[in-house]
């Protein structure tokens, strides 16, 4: 069974971030709900959010694919470290040619940052992203360019 365009985008986001030169290294996850291990100081977690479909003419639909990228960092000034990781990840996503062929209008629509110092100084900066993809209403697995 073919994957939806939303899943194709998220798979590409994970591939890009896993292969990018970020301080998270290979610590790139999808839908991780468990706490990160003590030995991990930087990590990225990708979470799918709602999608939205909007009719476009008689034979097309614009899917808006929305996801969050959580940037985890620990150490001195963890919020600053999480922000730096976000900038590395954002640059990698923006530069990826494959992602650009699946959809259009990649945007970071906002961020929020949470910090914790109970056990160790940690921060999680969540960046919200969206892309639009033109599809046929009967086939949500293929982007039409």
Tell me the two tokens of residue 6.
Answer: 């939303």
pLDDT at 38 over 90: no
CA distance 137 to 59: 7
Q: Are 100 and 64 in contact (CB under 8 A)?
A: no
Instruction: With respect to residue 56, please indicate whether it lies within any of the assigned structural domains.
Output: yes
pLDDT at 7 over 70: yes
Q: Which residue has the higher pLDDT, 54 or 30?
A: 30
Instruction: With respect to residue 62, please indicate whether it lies within any of the assigned structural domains.
Output: yes
**Number of separate domains in the chain:** 1
Instruction: With respect to residue 110, please indicate whether it lies within any of the assigned structural domains.
Output: yes
Q: Which residue has the higher pLDDT, 142 or 130?
A: 130
Residue 79: CATH number of its domain: 3.30.2000.10
9-37: pLDDT as tens digits: 999 999 999 999 999 999 999 998 776 76
CA distance 1 to 100: 23
Averaged pLDDT, 25-53: 85
Instruction: With respect to residue 142, please indicate whether it lies within any of the assigned structural domains.
Output: no
Instruction: With respect to residue 82, please indicate whether it lies within any of the assigned structural domains.
Output: yes
Burial 63-102 (b: 16+ CB within 10 A, else e): bbbbbebbbbbbeeebbebbbbbbebbbebbeebeebeeb
pLDDT at 83 over 70: yes
Instruction: With respect to residue 37, please indicate whether it lies within any of the assigned structural domains.
Output: no
The DSSP H or E segment spanning 71 is strand 60-74
How much of the chain exceeds pLDDT 90, in percent?
Answer: 63
Instruction: With respect to residue 67, please indicate whether it lies within any of the assigned structural domains.
Output: yes
Averaged pLDDT, 57-69: 89
Query: What pLDDT is stored for residue 1 in this prediction?
Result: 62
Q: Which domain holds residue 49?
A: 5-29+42-135
Instruction: With respect to residue 92, please indicate whether it lies within any of the assigned structural domains.
Output: yes
pLDDT band at 39 (very low <50, low <70, confident <90, very high): low
């Amino acid at each position: 069974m073919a994957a939806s365009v939303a899943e194709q985008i998220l798979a590409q986001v994970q591939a890009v971030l896993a292969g990018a030169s970020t301080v998270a290294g290979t610590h790139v996850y999808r839908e991780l709900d468990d706490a990160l291990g003590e030995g991990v100081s930087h990590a990225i977690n990708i979470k799918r959010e709602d999608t939205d479909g909007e009719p476009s003419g008689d034979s097309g639909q614009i899917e808006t694919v929305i996801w969050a990228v959580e940037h985890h960092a620990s150490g001195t000034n963890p919020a600053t470290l999480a922000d730096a990781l976000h900038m590395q990840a954002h640059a990698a996503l923006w530069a990826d040619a494959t992602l650009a062929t699946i959809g259009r209008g990649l945007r970071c629509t906002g961020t929020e940052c949470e910090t914790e110092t109970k056990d160790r100084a940690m921060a999680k900066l969540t960046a919200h992203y969206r892309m639009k993809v033109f599809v046929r209403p009967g086939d949500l697995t293929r982007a039409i360019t």
